[in-house]
Amino acid sequence: MMKRLAFLFGVLMAPMLLQAAELSAEDERALRSALDEHLRDADSAKFKDLKYGAEGSFCVKVNAKNAYGAYAGYSPFMGMKLQSGKFFILKGGSSAVEQVCRQQGMLD
């Protein structure tokens, strides 16, 4: 699984041009919407270290509230920002995602 994930993300991000970015209000709403199916409380999400790669690929650290209403700590998520302005979350919250984002130079 880890090798497949690394390969897939590597192919998507091959011509990597890293760029740190601040989220606009519109992008933040779109990212929260995409995270809705991945998080218990996407509205509570806090973002940091958003970095874009080639073709709209990105990695971002996300901290959101868990079932007990407490923040669970920052976890890496990766995905694509589509030309429509919507975000697609490829995978998130695992050590595999963190490793792939680090290998691509998108996480410190």
pLDDT of residue 91: 75
Q: Looking at residues 68-89, what average pLDDT do you find?
A: 91
Please tell me the pTM assigned to this model: 0.73
Q: Which of 15-24, 55-64, 72-81 has the lowest mean pLDDT?
A: 15-24
> Considering the chain, what percentage of its residues have pLDDT values greater than 70?
79
Burial class (CB in 10 A: 0-12, 13-18, 19+), 48: exposed
One-letter amino acid for residue 107 of the chain:
L
Q: Tokens 């958003």 label which residue?
A: 50
73 φψ region: left (φ > 0), alpha (ψ -120 to 50), beta (else): left
